[in-house]
Amino acid sequence: MSFVHTHASGRFDRSADSLEKALDNYVHHEQSSLLTLTEVSESPRAHTLPEQGWAVVQSEQRGRKADCAIMFDTAIWELLKKDFVLVVQGNGKILPVWAVFAILKHKPTGKVVVTSVAHMPRSVEGSTGFSAKEPARAKASVTGSQNWRRQANSFYRDYNADAILLAADWNLNIKKPWVRRYFDKTAPGYDVNWTGRLPKRGTLGRRIIDLALLRGLKVLSRRLLAHNSSSDHTAYREVLEFRGRQPKQSLLQ
């Protein structure tokens, strides 16, 4: 059994109307049942998120805690738990990063997915490794990713879940070999959703910086959508299928 997930990294200063049109496309034309979104905390944009028959998981506090949101079709998914976890503290120069979590039960199969979205620190990518010009940001990116996965793994065990989906604007281009090696080394038990031959265009210009770490899920198909005015990023759509559940002990704490 499969489902459609669309990830759309946003742009805080774009209009609420443009976001509404984009959401209508993701929900109705692309037939998504699960959306992960970033940069939707500004009040006019946040107020456009509810769609008929859909639920929204987003902090009621504005600002960075509400930067990201998860939307899901209530005919397909049941919310078991929601949470908002601070994975990067922030220090004035570096913005705090909150991961939004939704523990979702897939009604057609009964399978449980730990779903989460975050917006990781910017200006961290170098040509062959993390930027030497921004060591504090680079450290925050690495530590934040570790904190995020640790919390996801904990929910996976606690809810006897079948899968994990961690989607983000990582600000790291998966087209670069060092970035793929970084995820392979630091995220054991997870697969990066962008594999095989990658498109020439990306999610931001030609860079693919919006991606997901997956566990217990297989990508059946994936494509970039047409660019729209709701963001400087381009959304992607993927069809995901459940794999067999993997043992808990293969996850790091």
Read off the tokens for 206: 């030609």
Q: What does the pLDDT look like over 38-88, one tens digit per residue? A: 999 877 777 778 788 999 999 998 889 999 999 999 999 999 999 999 999
**Measured distance CA(20)–CA(18) in Å, rounded:** 5
Average the pLDDT over each of 11-25, 110-124, 148-162, 223-237 and give the range with the smallest value. 11-25
Does residue 54 contact residue 74 with C-beta atoms inside 8 Å?
yes
**Measured distance CA(137)–CA(13) in Å, rounded:** 23
Average the pLDDT over each of 39-43, 172-176, 186-190, 229-233 and give the range with the smallest value. 39-43
* pLDDT higher than threshold 80 for residue 158: yes
- Indicate the domain borders of the chain: 2-243
**Measured distance CA(19)–CA(189) in Å, rounded:** 34
* pLDDT higher than threshold 50 for residue 253: no
Angle of CA points 108, 226, 17, to nearest 5°: 85
Indicate the residue type of 203: T
How much is the pTM?
0.94
**Measured distance CA(55)–CA(69) in Å, rounded:** 10
Provide the strand spans (E) within the chain.
2-9, 34-38, 54-57, 69-73, 77-88, 97-106, 111-119, 163-169, 191-192, 210-215, 217-224, 236-242
- What superfamily would CATH give domain 2-243? Endonuclease/exonuclease/phosphatase (3.60.10.10)
* pLDDT number for residue 62: 81
Average the pLDDT over each of 28-32, 45-49, 145-149, 205-209 and give the range with the smallest value. 45-49
List b or e across 21-57, with b for residues whose CB sees 16 or more CB atoms inside 10 angstroms.
ebbebbbeeeebbbbbbbbbbbeebbebbebeebbbb
